[in-house]
Chains A and B, each alone.
Chain A
């Protein structure tokens, strides 16, 4: 009996190892599809969580006083007027920019087509930074679409399902972004850093030249190089920058504008 038990233990061990070997050797597209299929099991719970969140938000809205609502309304009207004026100015600048592009025969920048999505799940493991959002191929989302918030860049779409997608966040080891200093147009690469538990929004800025003029406080935006992220998306602000001991390059740290720990709604730039 004991021998039989031992045999069954080793049989299960072999089966599990075989399963793991097969899964780990699946081609990336197949593994992505399998991930989407299995994660579909959680859709009812995600729906339940979203409706609970909505109900709680509605309940909280009902508690806001009329005076507070009127004050918020007045603030919004004022900011709407300012934004309208800025929009007119921006439209004029855009038209002028297009004319200059035509004169110089440079292909004009395409305006962004944005779609808002809600974060439905976060990375459960320790090793990566990712979230799931409730937009998929039905909404026009494709792999590698840039994802941002009104504050700044957040990441890019990794896996796309019909109605949900996995987004790799800035700080994930698999995501490097070509960025530039808005002040002096110097380019570098933004990558993950080994941060402390409380430094969720700090990334390393590398591959700057040894004579770099990047200074703390400079704004960092996407450079547009590489073709994944359109240029000009705000990313963060330089916290410190120091030349390396060999003098060949400069390294710095960037505090991201978007708060990665508090993402609830994000915007996807559609192709």
Chain B
């Protein structure tokens, strides 16, 4: 994974956090807001390196906390831990398969709020908890499962649009070369 892909990921995280704060369609329709960050972290950890994972966790978490009433920094660690765990085991995962991507997205969408809640409670904060929270957790997990497989073709297209096209393999084969003798 190159820097261009990391920049695309950060740009999408930036846009995602902004939309989360200003776009009310899902909030009004489902009664819960959808977060792109867990799904994006699954994509990053399956395709990128630890640097990209740390950068996405730090930037995405910080941006989210700045627009929220969260204690500053509380969203960084859950995101990073999800990326870190997937990155450590990604050779064992069937990451090319949509089902695996979806299952990881679902797990990330479910784990990220739980880890954040764990941190908040340990910090002595008293966040809103109730049926509404449970509903948001369910919607968040499902959103993670649905969104993650979409990121792979999306970033693939973006990369292809900005990078030099791959050189087509030549039909020339050195072992079939006709050696000419002296005329």
User: Which residues of A approach B to under 8 Å, CB–CB?
Assistant: 5, 8-9, 12-13, 15-17, 19-20, 22-24, 26, 31, 34-36, 38-39, 41-42, 45-46, 49, 120-130, 132, 158, 166, 168, 171-174, 192-199, 261
Contacts and interface: CB of A to CB of B under 8 A. Distances in A.
B67 A121 contact: yes
Nearest to B139: A197
A197 B22 contact: no
B136 A39 contact: no
Contacts of A34: 66, 72
Nearest to B69: A128
B98 interface: no
B21 A194 contact: no
A12 B28 CA distance: 39
Interface stretch (B56-64, B102-110, B147-155, B173-181): B56-64
Contacts of B53: 12
* Most chain B Cβ neighbours within 10 Å, of A39, A124, A129, A192: A124
Nearest to A171: B128
Contact of B133 (A16, A126, A130, A193): A126
B50 to A, nearest CB: 5
Interface string B56-85: 011000111111111111111100100010
B105 to A, nearest CB: 18
Contacts of A128: 68-70, 127-128
B167 interface: no
Contacts of A46: 18, 22
Contacts of A39: 63, 66-67
B126 interface: yes
Interface stretch (B1-9, B31-39, B158-166): B31-39
Given A121-B22, A172-B128, A26 B136 contact: no
Nearest to A198: B31
Given A49-B22, A122-B22, A126-B113, A173 B132 contact: no
* Most chain A Cβ neighbours within 10 Å, of B32, B64, B80, B137: B80
Contact of A132 (B67, B72, B120, B136): B67
Interface string B96-130: 00000000000000000100110010010111111
Contacts, number: 160
Interface residues of B, number: 58
B72 A31 contact: yes
A121 B24 CA distance: 10
A173 B126 CA distance: 6
B27 interface: yes
A20 B130 contact: no
Contacts of A16: 54, 57-58, 76-77, 80
B50 A8 contact: yes
B136 A19 contact: no
A122 to B, nearest CB: 6
Contact of B132 (A20, A121, A168, A195): A195
* Most chain B Cβ neighbours within 10 Å, of A13, A23, A45: A23
A260 B26 CA distance: 16
20 contacts: A9-B50, A13-B80, A16-B76, A23-B62, A26-B72, A42-B14, A46-B18, A49-B22, A121-B21, A121-B22, A121-B67, A122-B21, A122-B22, A123-B21, A126-B128, A127-B68, A158-B69, A174-B69, A197-B136, A261-B28
